[in-house]
Amino acid sequence: METTDTAAGDGRDSATSEPRDDLAVARPLPEYVDWLVGVAIALGGMALFVGGTAVTFVVDRELLAQDIEAGEITIVVLQRDLTEAEMLEFSLEVVNWTGIGLLLTGIGLVLFAIGYVGFRHRAHQRVTDEGVVGTYRSSAVLGAVATSVLSFAPFSPVLGGGLAGYLEQPASGRPVSVGALSGFVAMVPALVILGFVTIGLYLGFATIQEAGLGFVVVAGMVFGLLVVSAYGAGLGALGGFAGGRLAQNSSDVE
């Protein structure tokens, strides 16, 4: 009978020397950790939803008009002072689309949290029959949450990626990829919101007859989105590498 074993420490199939996708740690994190992660994601989503609600339904045309008239809002486009009417229309587009982005991102995060907890609960239920529970995606999500919580610290994706890589190294031996995934996932809410802000900026420029400048701004924003994505994924991969090495060294000592 042919048997397939897993090489200790690197998560590779001894018959093919390739990383296995179905590997899982023998002692996965307790299920309550998944619940805590889900709660953290849901709280973040609700905060964005509340902020989006305020921006969408509180900051209205009348309020913006008052601020513009009082001189609290001033917009200059290529050294051209806009009229109050133009500033109002431009501001309305940006504010409305930013509010929509916050609302949709908040709702998306809450729904993701519910789905994540449900998915992980079913995975833990299967551990009784199969003896294993998959970890790759959960490690990436846990690292992304850590990145968001530690966002006040410089280069926080390194820390989140390091956590994801440390947890995933014993399971699949893919700490770098899981770290990169965690860093990118942590950036997704910001990318979505910035995407809606970009739409608002373009439509705002279009309302003041500056569609050409709007295209330039959109191009700059798209480039910025790519930079943010690369920043999260790159630093996450770096952290994943460090976390994986730490986990491997700890395993060698034991």
Percent of the chain at pLDDT exceeding 90: 55
**For residues 93-114, average pLDDT:** 96
Q: Within 13 Å, how many C-alpha atoms sit on residue 96's CB side?
A: 13
Residue 18 lies in a domain: no
Residue 16 lies in a domain: no
Closest CA to 137 of 95, 104, 167: 167
Residue 82 lies in a domain: yes
Give residue-wise pLDDT tens across range 191-231.
999 999 999 999 999 998 888 889 999 999 999 999 999 99
Q: What is the pLDDT of residue 9?
A: 42
Domain that residue 138 falls in: 28-243
Residue 249 lies in a domain: no
d(CA 14, CA 23): 13
Give residue-wise pLDDT tens across range 53-64.
999 998 888 888
Residue 12 lies in a domain: no
Residue 41 lies in a domain: yes
Residue 78 lies in a domain: yes
Confidence of residue 253 (pLDDT cuts 50, 70, 90): low
Closest CA to 210 of 97, 86, 68, 96: 86
Number of independent structural domains in the chain: 1
Residue 20 lies in a domain: no
Q: What is the pLDDT of residue 20?
A: 43
CA-CA-CA-CA torsion sign (47, 52, 58, 63): positive
